[in-house]
Amino acid sequence: MHGDLPLTQMRDTATSLFQEAVKTSLDLFKIMVPMSILVRILKVLGLTEYLGYALRPVMELMGLPGSMGMVWAAAMTNFYAGVAAFASLVPDAALTVAQVTVLTCVMLVAHSIPVELRIAQKAGTRMGAMAMIRIGGAFILGWGLFRFYQMTGFLQESSIAIWSTLQEEVTWAEWAISEIRSLLMIFLIVLVLLFLMKLLWKTKVIALLTRILEPVLRTLGMSAKAAPIAIVGMTMGLTYGGGLILQESRSGVLDKKDVFATLTLMGLSHGLIEDTLFMLALGGHLSGYFGVVCSSLFLWSSLSGRR
């Protein structure tokens, strides 16, 4: 009887994990499938280059093809819409690992802007200022990474995507089969990510990161009250961290100075575990994500010191 208990617990945990992965994936597919269809139509009509035209000069300054402007534009509306655009467009772009790293890091910093800026606004910051910090910070990071990889010759080999969609020469039926395979791959990635997140919590790795980062943030000027909340946002995402900030700011525990500093840091660098693992799955290199953290801390300390 007692010997069956661990097996029952394992089965229940696996079932719960699978159900959570299904729910999460379905929520993502509601966003990604329409975006994939839109990108497919635009590619067939030859309009993808024109849609990314407005961002072409910006993308080229970061060493990226102008067509990647559509990927970033989609990501700024919704992170997973950007992932869908990425999977659809990258096979035609023949990017290097360095270019994929630049693009995915830019997406990490500036994504889901409407929703996340609204969270920041509710917590007491100005949407316009936070938008400039997010988008401007993403561009500075992308340009810096591009120059670094260019000067060092690092990561100049061709990137091999884990999944991609077929080219526009195929029929719609063939394209649909390819998309289904891509969605199954995404489901597997989501399942693995959820498992890793639970493992990191269970093994207290996230707690260890919290203990390591908290003294660093305090040294850079963040108050003891705000530092733990910032770490939650950096590791788990702006939605989680922003919710805590909103609660604490309304209760009066954090003053406006702490709210601004914390939301600035979380805006530049958040969801670093889950989002970074997803970006690595797209073909980016881990070196870029250290750049996200370092540049975010530097820019945050500069801004918070002048506010």
Q: Is residue 223 part of a domain?
A: yes
Q: Is residue 165 part of a domain?
A: yes
Q: Which residues are within 8 A (CB) of 250 and not within 5 positions of it... i.e. 6 or more apart?
A: none
Q: Is residue 3 part of a domain?
A: no
CB 186 within 8 A of CB 25: yes
Structural domains in the chain (count): 1
Q: Is residue 4 part of a domain?
A: no
Q: Is residue 92 part of a domain?
A: yes
C-alpha distances out from residue 118 to 114, 121, 128, 242, 258, Å: 6, 5, 11, 10, 18
- pLDDT of 145: 94
Residues in the chain, pLDDT under 70: 1-5, 28, 31, 43, 46-52, 123, 161-170, 193, 197, 206, 220-221, 224, 236-253, 300-307
Q: Is residue 151 part of a domain?
A: yes
- pLDDT of 58: 92
Three-state secondary-structure class, residue 96: strand
pTM for this structure?
Answer: 0.73
The first and second tokens of residue 142, run together, are 């992308």
pLDDT tens-digit map of 97-138: 999 999 999 998 888 888 777 777 776 778 888 888 889 989
- pLDDT of 306: 47
Calpha distance 141→118 (Å, rounded): 23
Calpha distance 266→287 (Å, rounded): 20
Q: Is residue 109 part of a domain?
A: yes
Three-state secondary-structure class, residue 32: helix
Q: Is residue 81 part of a domain?
A: yes
Q: For residue 199, what are the domain limits?
A: 20-306
Residue with tokens 């207290």: 204
Neighbouring C-beta atoms of residue 184, cutoff 10 Å: 12
